[in-house]
Amino acid sequence: MQNKLLDYIPEHAHKGIQDLLSMDNLVVKIKSERKTRHGDYRQLPNNRHQITVNSNLNPYRFLITLIHEIAHFETYNKYGRFIKPHGKEWKYTFQHLMLPFLRPDIFPMDLLPLLAKHFKNPKASSDTDLQLALALKQFSEPNDKTYVYDVSLGQAFKLYNGKVFIKGNKRRTRFECLEIKTGKLYLFNPNAEVELLEE
Separation between Cα atoms, residue 168 and residue 101, nearest integer Å? 39
Average pLDDT, the chain: 89
**Is 25 a residue whose pLDDT tops 80?**
no
Sign of the alpha-carbon torsion through 199, 190, 37, 146: positive
Task: Tell me the per-residue pLDDT of 145-181, one tens digit each, with 9 for 90 and over.
Answer: 788 888 999 999 998 888 999 999 998 888 999 999 9
Beta bridge partners of 43: 49
Averaged pLDDT, 63-84: 92
Which helix (DSSP H) or strand (DSSP E) does residue 118 occupy? helix 112-118
Beta strands per DSSP E along the chain: 27-31, 39-43, 49-54, 146-147, 156-158, 164-170, 175-179, 185-188, 193-196
In this predicted structure, which of 59-63, 65-69, 82-86, 125-129 has the lowest mean pLDDT?
A: 125-129
State pTM to two decimals: 0.80
For residue 129, name the pLDDT band (cuts at 50, 70, 90). confident
